[in-house]
């Protein structure tokens, strides 16, 4: 399900309420910080996933997707490609509807897992850029 149509993507965004941002950071210069803030401004309940911080943008963090006390609609990944399979496995286990690997993050193994599990999957794209391209921020 990597080749989602714009209509499918818009529906996923509109039907989603919760987003887990894996690799979230308190550093304002980091894309994960800026994008997490943007998603919060769009009305999503965003939860940071990182073992490095206690909280990000005022939100309590969790060490892994497995530790989340809820099933996230979207798991947005800001980690190196080598970590993607483990994160995708956890996202599938939490019944995520969409797994999103940010720009430069690619993983054949992750794509295969998502496909087998029938989970929507996008890699090597920026969620913020796609959200704006689809005109959802207006």
Q: What is the CATH number of the domain that holds 78?
A: 3.40.50.720
How does pLDDT run across 63-86, given as a tens digit for each residue?
Answer: 999 999 999 999 999 999 999 999
Any domain includes 25? yes
- Domain annotation covers residue 62: yes
∠ Cα 126 95 23 (to 5°): 40
The number of domains in the chain is 1
Indicate if the pLDDT at residue 138 is higher than 80.
no
Nearest Cα neighbor of 75 from 30, 29, 36 is 36
Checking if the pLDDT of 14 tops 70, the result is yes
Is residue 42 over pLDDT 80?
yes
Taking the complete model, does pTM exceed 0.95, yes or no?
A: yes
Residue 1 belongs to a domain? no
Give the model's pLDDT for residue 3: 73
Domain residue limits at 21: 6-133
The pLDDT of residue 137 = 86
């Amino acid at each position: 399900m990597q080749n989602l149509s714009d209509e499918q993507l818009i529906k996923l965004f509109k039907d989603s309420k919760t987003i887990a941002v894996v690799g979230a950071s308190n550093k304002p210069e980091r894309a994960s910080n800026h994008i997490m803030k943007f998603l919060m401004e769009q009305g999503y309940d965003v939860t940071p996933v990182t073992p490095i911080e206690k909280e990000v943008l005022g939100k309590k963090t969790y060490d892994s997707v497995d530790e989340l006390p809820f099933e996230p609609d979207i798991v947005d990944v800001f980690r190196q490609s080598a970590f993607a399979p483990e994160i995708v496995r956890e996202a599938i286990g939490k019944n995520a509807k969409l797994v999103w690997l940010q720009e430069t993050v690619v993983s054949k193994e992750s794509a295969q897992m998502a496909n087998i599990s029938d989970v929507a999957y996008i890699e090597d794209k920026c969620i913020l850029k796609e959200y704006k391209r689809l005109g959802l921020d207006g």
